[in-house]
A = this chain, B = another copy of it.
Amino acid sequence: MTLIEPRLSRGLRDLLPEDTLARQHMIDVVRGVYELYGFVPLTTPAVEYLDVLSGSGGQEIQQSIFTVSNPEEEQLGLRFDHTVPLARVIAQYKELPKPFRRYSIGPVWRADKPGPGRFREFVQFDIDSVGVQSELADTEIICGICDSMEALGVSNYQVRFSSRRVLNLLLAYASITPERSVDVFRVIDKLEKIGPKKVRLELTAGYTDESGDRITGLGLTAEQADQIEKFIAIRSPKRADVVKELGGTFGSVPGAAEEIAVLEKMSHNLDVAGYRDDRVIIDLSIARGLAYYNGPVFETILMDAPQFGSVFSGGRYDDLVMRFLGERVPATGASMGVDRLLAALRALDKIRLRKSTAEVLVTTFDSSMKDDYTAMTFELRRAGIRTELYMGTDRAGKQIKYGDRLEIPIVLLYGPDEKAKGVVTIKDMSAGRARAQQLTGSRDRWLQERPGQFEVPRAELVAAVRKLLAEPPAFTERT
């Protein structure tokens, strides 16, 4: 028999229990925020027609689609985001009530070059409002991002927004044609990463970077680059100041006043809703790479982990349904990079990691007492206490070690002696671990003291476990 090597293709990975629990917790928290906002969930299949998928994303996206074959040999692929399937759904189900404010959670696939932290299958959590022209919808997306961050325990973050329409006016003013605008946006968007000097070079003649690679310039004139610099030089930690300066410098550009007013309205709405300058700023260098944005754009930076880039980004895209219906449907939304944010939260130690879901491990070291163990386990479960019944046939020591390794807070020991006495031995593992650390090197004392270990009457087991789980942990954190 030839053995098959257990393995995954590059860019794919398993999430073992600890990581899945953390991710699930994160998703549940953010889901709670958006349900608080009254968003509703939508599920679309992973597999879509290629023509449906590839319309919007540009060549870059098309090349990164995983293609799929079905028995009918149709042209199919795995979705690369949740936005295109949303646009399809909007076009397909005309009866959907509008405004349609939905969230979608699930994996997306991109056959890009994998790297550290870059996977080919990753989870996105998207929220979008469809059918709403008002800037209130954009504002609400930003508020939801803030609430999500705070619900996840992150307080030091910044949501930054700008508007593609304001940027477009700037480009028109600098005599840059609309076809070139997305290229220019991409370069501007690199400001934080590469600095203003390189941005200017890339906008104009290009440059050779440290590694000797040639970065082609866009060929703008010095005057054009000046205009762009003048624009992105408008910076302030106060939203009102940015709006004011923008109006002062560019207010006379035809059509500009109206677009600047959108930023002003969003800023005002944010104030009314209670989201101040300390966590949401206007940053005119935010352009976002995607071609389809045509209004406000936003991104979210964890200030203590900026190296992860934006963890929650989006913008307005009123034209996405166009290719299905031939008409505009206003839409705005954002996408949370679940796996990227999870990595950032882990790096910041902001997420509680659990190896087990169990609060109690019932050991089963005496084979003559199986029924007692089973009955005890189900008694605890019926009381709502998460309990694992040890299923192996190992000795007590190994079973306790298993509980310790999985960080299960309480381990129960029940042998013939305990049964005769009518008691159960409870091991409070965290108390035991903490005391053991204090007693390092003094094994005799540890054995004598048996820290965190005590007996309770069998009839009072559920009450005793409940009490212990409700107590604050002894020294280290238990739950």
Contact = CB atoms under 8 A, between A and B. Distances in A.
Interface of A: 1, 3-10, 12-17, 19-21, 23-24, 34-49, 51-52, 55, 66-72, 74, 76, 78, 87-89, 91-93, 96-99, 101-102, 107, 109, 111, 120-121, 129, 131-134, 136-137, 139-140, 143, 147, 268-269, 272-274, 322-326, 355-358, 361, 370-371, 374-375, 377-378, 381-382, 384-393, 402, 405-406, 408
Which has the most chain B C-beta neighbours within 10 Å: A16, A76, A382, A405? A16
A324 B67 contact: no
A98 B377 CA distance: 19
A109 B147 CA distance: 36
Q: Interface residues of A: mostly helix, strand, loop or mixed?
A: mixed
Contacts of A98: 392
A37 B74 contact: no
Contacts of A91: 6
A15 B40 contact: no
Given A132-B392, A269-B374, A326-B1, A7 B46 contact: no
A100 to B, nearest CB: 9
Given A1-B326, A3-B324, A55-B4, A36 B405 contact: no
Interface centre among A1, A4, A392, A408 (most CB of B within 10 A): A4
Contacts of A402: 97
Given A273-B378, A325-B3, A17 B38 contact: no
Nearest to A330: B391
A162 to B, nearest CB: 21
A3 B40 contact: no
A86 to B, nearest CB: 10
Contacts of A374: 136, 139, 269, 272-273
Contacts of A371: 268-269, 272
Nearest to A99: B391
Contacts of A17: 40-42, 102
A76 to B, nearest CB: 6
Could you say which of A38, A102, A273 has the most chain B C-beta atoms within 10 Å of its C-beta? Answer: A38
Contacts of A15: 42-44
A52 B4 contact: yes
Q: Kindly list the 6 A-B residue pairs having the minimum CB-CB distance in the complex, ordered from nearest.
A: A38-B388, A38-B358, A17-B40, A15-B43, A6-B91, A6-B92
Contacts of A131: 391-392
A111 B68 CA distance: 11
A292 B387 CA distance: 30
Contacts of A13: 45
Contact of A40 (B21, B78, B378): B21
A55 B5 CA distance: 12
Contact of A391 (B6, B34, B137, B387): B137
Contacts of A70: 9, 66, 111, 120
A377 B24 CA distance: 28
Nearest to A377: B273
Given A6-B88, A375-B273, A20 B36 contact: no
Contacts of A389: 38, 136, 140
A417 to B, nearest CB: 22
Nearest to A91: B6
A160 to B, nearest CB: 21
B68 A42 contact: no
A322 B2 CA distance: 10
Contact of A76 (B5, B9, B101): B9
Given A15-B42, A42-B16, A68-B78, A9 B47 contact: yes
